[in-house]
Amino acid sequence: MIWLLLLPFRLLFGVVFGLVALPFVLLFLPIVLLIWLPFAILRFTLKVVFGLILLPVIAVVMLVGLLVGGMAVAAAVLIPLIPLLFGAFCVWVGWRLIASPAKTVMRT
């Protein structure tokens, strides 16, 4: 809680020293920009190059991940249905075995 008590003094000293430092900052700003600007351009260029190189790789990995995720969701939905499908298949086979002799009529 002491920081709250000292907050006005911190603000006052910050404003005063900021105003004192402002002429020096304005004086050295062109020199700093002259030194910093080539490195900023180099950094931007490298980011663009790496982005263009890695974008197709990331796209392929994303598509593979979506495909695997889709298969996992499909398997998670269909695997619990296997016993019901097996039962329906057994009923269908039984129905075909029982109903097939009745369809054949001997013609003489």
- pLDDT tens readout for residues 87-101: 999 999 999 888 766
Q: Is the dihedral of CA 35, 37, 40, 41 positive or negative?
A: negative
d(CA 68, CA 64) in angstroms, rounded, equals 6
d(CA 73, CA 67) in angstroms, rounded, equals 10
Confidence bin at 33 (pLDDT 50/70/90) = confident
d(CA 79, CA 95) in angstroms, rounded, equals 25
- In this prediction, residue 108 carries a pLDDT of 57
Picking from 108, 92, 86, the residue whose alpha carbon sits closest to that of residue 100 is: 92
User: Which pair of structure tokens corresponds to residue 76?
Assistant: 């998670």
In a domain, 106, yes or no: no
Q: What total number of domains does the chain contain?
A: 1
Identify the domain containing residue 20 by its residue range. 2-100
In a domain, 64, yes or no: yes
In a domain, 56, yes or no: yes
